[in-house]
Chain A
Amino acid sequence: MSEFSIRTMGLTKRFGTFVAVDGIDVEVKRGEIYGFLGANGAGKTTAMRMLCGLLVPTSGEGQVAGFDILRETAKIRTRIGYMSQKFALYPDLTLRENLKLSTDLYAIPRKLVAERMDEAIVRCEITEMLDRVTGTLPWGWQQRLSLACATAHHPEILFLDEPTGSVDPLSRRGFWDLIRAEAVRGTTIFVTTHYMDEAEYCHRACFLVDGRVADVGTPPELKARHGVESLQDVFLAVAAKARRS
């Protein structure tokens, strides 16, 4: 098995004359928490969609979870989990019903469903509210359910697209406790966020500017390289060179 969960070479996406993602080389190690950062319009979402097999690259190549992002997108989709702040949950269903539905969506074999549901319920700490209606519960419960839904099939990679949105700092830290536990289990975490303090929780962070990789490294490496104290300042330093607005 490869050391890398994600590997791209010259990955590019054009929309007409606009080059949204411009030849990026990304290497994400198995079990790594990898932050994918950049200004609005830097190309983060486009790149992430290509990695998830939802968008066909214009050129370049890559492997995600050992599968080719051009030819094996169906296999990739069963090996990844995806979570965003925009809930893909049904507010009128109970937590249990939402989780059951996601086991179908991620094509968990029928004979494994009960076992995987039980495992995800305990791991994501949603036991007490299982039969409550999802939409009535506070953010923390919904987010833990989202995590259970995105990981019950034991994906190799978990994609988090701005997972914490506008939540309070205590809930945000509680959510990251769970994400770290996922990484410790060996799941690769690929996360986009606008919160630079969350970027500090990543093993490595990649800054995208105008569709290109402007810098990548561990948080201490990045801060040392730019001679600043925080990733917020690294962001301001690399993004200052952006031409797109």
Chain B
Amino acid sequence: MDALSLEDLHHDHAGERALRSLSFDVPEGVLFGLIGADGAGKSTLFQILSTLLDPKQGKAKVLGFDTATESDKIRPFIGYMPQRFSLYQDLSVQENLEFAADIVGIAGKAAKPILDELIGFARLDGARTRPAGKLSGGMKQKLALCCALVRKPRLLLLDEPTVGVDPVTRRDFWDMLKLLKSQGTTTIVSTPYMDEASLCDEVALIHHGEILAKGSPAELGASLPGRLWKLHGATSLHVRTDAAPPAPLLSLYVTGGDLHALAPHECTTESVMASVATTGLPVTHAHPIEPTIEDVLMRFLQARHAA
């Protein structure tokens, strides 16, 4: 069964477009990433999926049920971690979890083993009695995830859980998501961090309320209309992002300390180097690389920008 099924979903906020004509399915058991920047529509979609908001047009089905008319059948099976911090700052880690369990009808003796397991899972043992407001950013996010997990949801909805969290803690958090997947949980997670896309089974790229592309990270990489090259130089390389690429390159942009060039498939190392040399950039060598989701999104955004 599909964990999620969208049919021509539209939404707007006070006339401002939030989501436009979304139609896609997510099967159960996958770790699905919704990749996009601020204002792309990710949170609106999460609010619809968690049955807190009815779509203006179209249909969203979660675990086979309509979010607008069958919310009572959906809610017992989902765990939703909203973007805004959802914990009680003055309550301890343990108390926040007890409260989250109480809300969903798990109390007293029945709650204890579940909460102990979650605290162990998130490695929060040492912070059990600490008020949530005194936790580091990463620990808060882990605790919020545990609160969404108390009723062992079939579908986990995580809205930007790793924003503002440093790379080490982000890695820990994704390890937790992988473990949940191995236990059969379907997860839909949004993120603005492109590198996290590679950790998903499947992703959708969302921009200004529209889905630009959907597929596995490898499929999306293969969809680029050319081959991607990494160019190294003796010094740090830089081109203005809005500069037109030298022919026959399709695009040329900075990534980290290097340049990335998208070139037609027939280009060789020599022709790519020669083309970049016309810009005056001191490139010393070039080699083909596998595109990341960031390269895929750059291609879509540059194409739109040019249009």
Contacts and interface: CB of A to CB of B under 8 A. Distances in A.
B37 A39 contact: no
A200 interface: yes
A132 interface: no
Contacts of A197: 255-256
A220 B256 CA distance: 11
B136 A194 contact: no
Contacts of B297: 168-170
Contacts of A38: 166
A240 to B, nearest CB: 7
B167 A232 contact: yes
B299 to A, nearest CB: 10
B39 to A, nearest CB: 7
B37 A168 contact: yes
A194 B37 contact: no
Nearest to B124: A245
A174 B169 contact: no
A55 B113 CA distance: 45
B164 to A, nearest CB: 7
Nearest to A218: B236
Contact of A40 (B165, B256, B294): B165
B138 A139 contact: no
Interface in A158-182: 162, 165-171, 173-174, 176-177, 180
B242 A166 contact: no
A123 to B, nearest CB: 14
Q: How large is the interface on A (under 10, 10 to 19, 20 to 34, 35 or more residues)?
A: 35 or more
Contact of A165 (B38, B168, B301): B38
A239 B168 contact: yes
B257 A200 contact: yes
A194 B305 contact: no
B305 A235 contact: no
A202 to B, nearest CB: 9
Interface string B169-207: 101000000000000000000001111000000000001
Given A41-B136, A201-B254, A169 B298 contact: yes
A200 B136 contact: no
Contacts of B38: 139, 165-167
Given A40-B137, A166-B192, A240-B168, 9 more contacts: A40-B136, A41-B137, A139-B37, A169-B297, A169-B301, A176-B241, A195-B193, A236-B167, A236-B171
